């Protein structure tokens, strides 16, 4: 008697981002699939691989190579008929399934930003987030760090940031044997050893000397040699990740040179949310009524259009709107007073007055 053949098929449902996927063995050659309790067709074994057939139409074809190493849940003992088996005898097939729910964060997406970040984190990429001030760049990184349970070090970049803060430096101290020098490791080698995450906020405000000190840590070898400390070599922990945020239009910033920029092998653009999503964000986060939330978003969009046309130097960000909405909901101040406190963007009296006049257009 011929030995029974056993095969392994792996089906990755990660792309569908559903919270609950169930696969139920049915008749030979067929597995029923339900998503959130609703029937979504069947999975069949076919000559070219495994197909997901929904409403009589093949909508997804899975192949063995697509799912290497992605196993979370196993359904075994499924009887599947081999289309190439002339005897039409059922064979035992093990179907391995990875069901990965949507990553839940408080960041509101407009263009799959969370999915892009998750890919970069999984692949150990250096990530550069580009976008206007207050659109949620730093918040997204913070949310991802919380999701993964990682320590996040935020470095606020400016012209005062020194290389020694990042790499390390010696201090002079007294001991029982007299005055001695002691090496204090900087933030980068410490994070590399511990497997922490590091984000450089407003990276393009840093001096060239500071940027050059980051080069080694961003290299594919993921190690640094500290010349200042007897050429000590620091190897990056498996979990170490580096991120940076820039606002290309921000005053006082410099353009990143090509050699440094290419070290960021994943660059993600983040912009303000579409109007409907920004309104919903204000309502959900602050409890402000929809009617007034709509007015706030219109105010912000008016300032953004004026900034793009060069008529204003600053515009109202999502972060400003959240502060504005929270204060307005409390009901202790008028809309104009709230605006003067929460979106006081500039010391230029004329420009600030223009912004307040936009607020008055919607609230008076």
State the pLDDT at residue 277.
Answer: 94
> Contact at 8 Å (CB) between 126 and 267?
no
Q: What tens digit of pLDDT does each residue of 252-310 get?
A: 567 788 888 889 999 999 999 999 999 999 999 999 999 999 999 999 999 999 999 99
Distant-in-sequence, close-in-space partners of 64: CB < 8 Å, separation ≥ 6: 8, 9, 10, 49
Report the C-alpha gap between 20 and 37 in whole angstroms: 8
The residue with greater pLDDT, 39 or 89, is 39
State how far Cα 364 lies from the chain centre: 39
State the pLDDT at residue 174.
Answer: 86
State the pLDDT at residue 80.
Answer: 33
Task: Give whichever of 8-22, 165-179, 234-248 has the largest mean pLDDT.
Answer: 234-248
Q: What tens digit of pLDDT does each residue of 179-213 get?
A: 889 999 999 999 999 999 999 999 988 888 888 88
The pLDDT > 70 percentage for the chain reads 71
Report the C-alpha gap between 253 and 208 in whole angstroms: 12
Q: Which DSSP string corresponds to 301-360? A: HHHHHHHHTTS-S----HHHHHHHHHHHHHTSS-HHHHHHHH----S-HHHHHHHHHHHH
Q: Is the per-residue pLDDT at 162 higher than 80?
A: yes
Q: What is the largest CA-CA distance in the chain?
A: 92
> Contact at 8 Å (CB) between 157 and 128?
no
Token pair 């497997």 is found at 195
State the pLDDT at residue 195.
Answer: 96
Report the C-alpha gap between 115 and 204 in whole angstroms: 25
CATH number for the segment(s) 113-269: 3.40.50.300
> Contact at 8 Å (CB) between 55 and 46?
no
pLDDT band at residue 86, thresholds of 50, 70 and 90?
very low
pTM: 0.71
173: three-class secondary structure by DSSP = strand
Q: Is the per-residue pLDDT at 100 higher than 60?
A: no
Parallel, antiparallel or unpaired: strands 178-185 and 168-175: antiparallel
Q: What is the mean pLDDT of the chain?
A: 80
Average pLDDT over residues 117-123: 93
The residue with greater pLDDT, 2 or 50, is 50
Token pair 């792996």 is found at 10
For residue 51, which of 69, 67, 31 has the smallest C-alpha distance?
31
State the pLDDT at residue 82.
Answer: 36
């Amino acid at each position: 008697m011929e030995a029974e053949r056993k095969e392994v098929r792996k089906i990755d449902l990660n792309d569908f981002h559903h919270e609950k996927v169930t696969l139920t063995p049915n008749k030979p050659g067929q597995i029923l699939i339900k998503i959130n309790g609703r029937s979504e067709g069947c999975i069949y074994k076919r000559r070219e691989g495994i197909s997901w057939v929904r409403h009589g139409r093949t909508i997804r074809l899975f192949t063995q190579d697509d799912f290497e190493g992605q196993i979370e849940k196993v359904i075994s003992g499924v009887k599947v008929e081999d289309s190439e088996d002339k005897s039409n005898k059922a064979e035992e097939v093990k179907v391995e399934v990875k069901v990965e729910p949507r990553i839940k964060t408080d960041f509101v997406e407009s263009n799959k930003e969370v999915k892009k970040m998750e890919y970069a984190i999984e692949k150990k990429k250096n990530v550069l987030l580009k976008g206007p001030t207050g659109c949620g760049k730093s918040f997204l990184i913070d949310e991802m760090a919380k999701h993964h349970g990682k320590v996040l070090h935020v470095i606020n970049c400016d012209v005062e940031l020194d290389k020694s803060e990042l790499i390390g430096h010696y201090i002079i101290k007294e001991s029982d044997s007299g005055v001695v020098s002691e090496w204090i490791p900087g933030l980068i080698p410490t994070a590399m050893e511990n497997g922490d995450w590091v984000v450089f906020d407003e990276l393009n405000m840093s001096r060239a000397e500071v940027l050059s000190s980051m080069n080694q840590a961003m290299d594919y070898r993921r190690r640094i040699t500290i010349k200042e400390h007897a050429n000590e070599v620091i190897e990056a922990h498996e979990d170490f990740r580096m991120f940076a945020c820039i606002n290309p239009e921000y005053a006082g910033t410099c353009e990143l040179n090509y050699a440094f920029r290419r070290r960021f092998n994943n660059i993600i653009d983040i912009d303000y949310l579409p109007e409907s999503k920004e309104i919903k964000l204000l309502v959900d986060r602050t409890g402000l009524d929809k009617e007034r939330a709509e007015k706030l978003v219109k105010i912000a969009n008016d300032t953004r259009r004026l900034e793009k046309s060069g008529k204003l130097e600053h515009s109202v960000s999502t972060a400003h709107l959240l502060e504005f909405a929270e204060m307005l909901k409390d009901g202790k101040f008028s809309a104009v007073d709230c605006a003067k406190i929460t979106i006081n963007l500039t010391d230029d009296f004329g420009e600030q007055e223009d912004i307040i006049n936009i607020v008055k257009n919607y609230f008076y």
